[in-house]
Amino acid sequence: MNVIRSLNRSVLFLLLCALAIVTAPALRAETPPEQVKDAGAIKLTTDLLDKMDAFIKAVGADDAARNELNEIGKDPSVSQSQDAWAAAITSKCPKTSEHLKKAGITAADFTKGVSAIMACAMSEDMAKSDNETAKANAEFVKANQARAEKTVGTFMELSVPKTP
Q: Are residues 92 and 52 in the same domain?
A: yes
Q: Are residues 82 and 137 in the same domain?
A: yes
164 within some domain: no
What is the distance of C-alpha 164 from the center of its chain? 31
Whether 45 and 26 map to the same domain: the answer is: no
Range of the domain at 14: 1-30
Burial class of residue 56 in the structure, from the number of CB atoms within 10 Å of its CB (0-12 exposed, 13-18 middle, 19+ buried): buried
Question: Any residues with CB less than 8 A from the CB of 34 and at least 6 apart, and which?
Answer: none
What confidence tier does 58 reach under pLDDT thresholds 50, 70, 90?
very high
Q: Is 74 in the same domain as 142?
A: yes
- Provide the domain count of the chain: 2
pTM of the model: 0.79
What is the rounded average pLDDT of the residues 88-117? 96
Residue 162 falls inside a structural domain: no
Question: Same domain, yes or no, for 18 and 63?
Answer: no
> Binning pLDDT at 50, 70 and 90, where does residue 164 land?
low
Average pLDDT over the chain reads 83
- Same domain flag for 48 and 22: no
Cα–Cα distance for residue pair 53/41, rounded to 1 Å: 19
Q: Residue 73 falls within a domain, yes or no?
A: yes
Distance of alpha carbon 141 from alpha carbon 136, whole angstroms: 9
- Give the number of residues written for the chain: 164
Assess if residue 163 is contained within a domain: no
Specify if 153 maps to a domain.
Answer: yes
Task: State the pLDDT at residue 4.
Answer: 39
Are residue 61 and residue 104 in the same domain, yes or no?
A: yes
Query: Is residue 126 included in any domain, yes or no?
Result: yes
The answer to whether position 63 is within a domain reads: yes
Residues 40, 15 within the same domain: no
25 with 42, same domain: the answer is: no
Q: Return the pLDDT at 62.
A: 96
Residue 13: band (very low, low, confident or very high) from pLDDT cuts 50, 70, 90:
very low
pLDDT > 90? residue 64? yes
Based on the domain organization, do 145 and 85 belong to the same domain? yes
Please check whether residues 44 and 123 belong to one and the same domain.
yes
**Is 130 part of a structural domain of the chain?**
yes
Do 50 and 131 belong to one domain?
yes
